Amino acid sequence: MTQLERVRTANAVHAQVSAWRSAGDRVALVPTMGNLHTGHLSLVDRARELAERVIVSIFVNPTQFGPQEDIQTYPRTPVEDESLLARQGRTDLLFVPSEQEIYPHGTADIVTVNLPGLANELCGRFRPGHFDGVASVVLRFLNIAQPDFLVMGQKDYQQLTLLMRMLEELHLHTELVTTATVREPDGLAMSSRNQYLTPEERQVAPLLHAALADLAVELQQDAAAFQASRSAALEELERRGFRPDYLELRHADDLSMAEPTGLGRARILLVAAWLGRARLIDNLLV
């Protein structure tokens, strides 16, 4: 069992990482917004496999929320989160900074990362500026922790693709390591926002992943009919109470547009849909 230490300042992280480096230890970072669940713990497990030292950060980043989004109601459970990590016993350092620590000059006029055009597609089309906010805060955490590994889950696939581009183009010496989406027994991808679902909506929510699975089978069986199958899937989701934002087929390596009949490159189905107050996202490699 690893002894968990909680710190609140970048200087404290610098000092600890410097000591670890002197001992020859590798460092893995797991960035989160808290309200931790089994999916987050799986990231910590993977981080521990990669490195001798693990840092988990908890920070609800204001710059990735739009004006009408849920930053005020986003679930915050700091005591429970720290207890969960302590019981797991695989995290060395819990970094819980204040907003002022990360944005010392406020958030109205900050240094930002301007991501390429993909940031304005898929989820970015419905959440303008979201991915620039994500990349800007992740870059800050990378500069603070200077980890060998950045460990994140595949549920936020567009986010991963954009962060990979940032790491490559800015020549950052951190390896992005991804882990499979952790799901509930009925297939729903784990997410802190799932708790927005009413009991009735929670029963319906797994249909989002089921729609992807059915569409993947139909794509393999009759690629020429994909657009008709996609339209039928969207209609069925709407009939069951979802409000879809998109359901698209893209290339898995860079999320460029993919043809249903295309061969030779891995592809991925991506979906985002509202169900009540919860905006759910999911994806499936095909």
For residues 70-93, one letter each, b for 16 or more C-beta atoms within 10 angstroms of the residue's C-beta and e for the rest, the string is: eeeeeeeeeeebbebbbebebbbb
> Rounded mean pLDDT of 248-269?
94
180: phi then psi, degrees, rounded to nearest 5: -65, 150
Q: What distance in Å separates the CA atoms of residue 24 and residue 3, rounded to the nearest whole number?
A: 19
Assess whether pLDDT exceeds 90 at residue 91.
Answer: yes
Provide the CA 82 distance to its chain's centre, in angstroms: 20
| Domains located in the chain, CATH noted | 5-179 (3.40.50.620), 192-285 (3.30.1300.10)
- The single residue of 40, 130, 171, 173 carrying the catalytic annotation is 40
Tens-place pLDDT, residues 151-182: 999 999 999 999 999 999 999 999 999 999 99
Tens-place pLDDT, residues 277-286: 999 999 999 9
Q: What is the pTM of this model?
A: 0.95
37 is catalytic: no
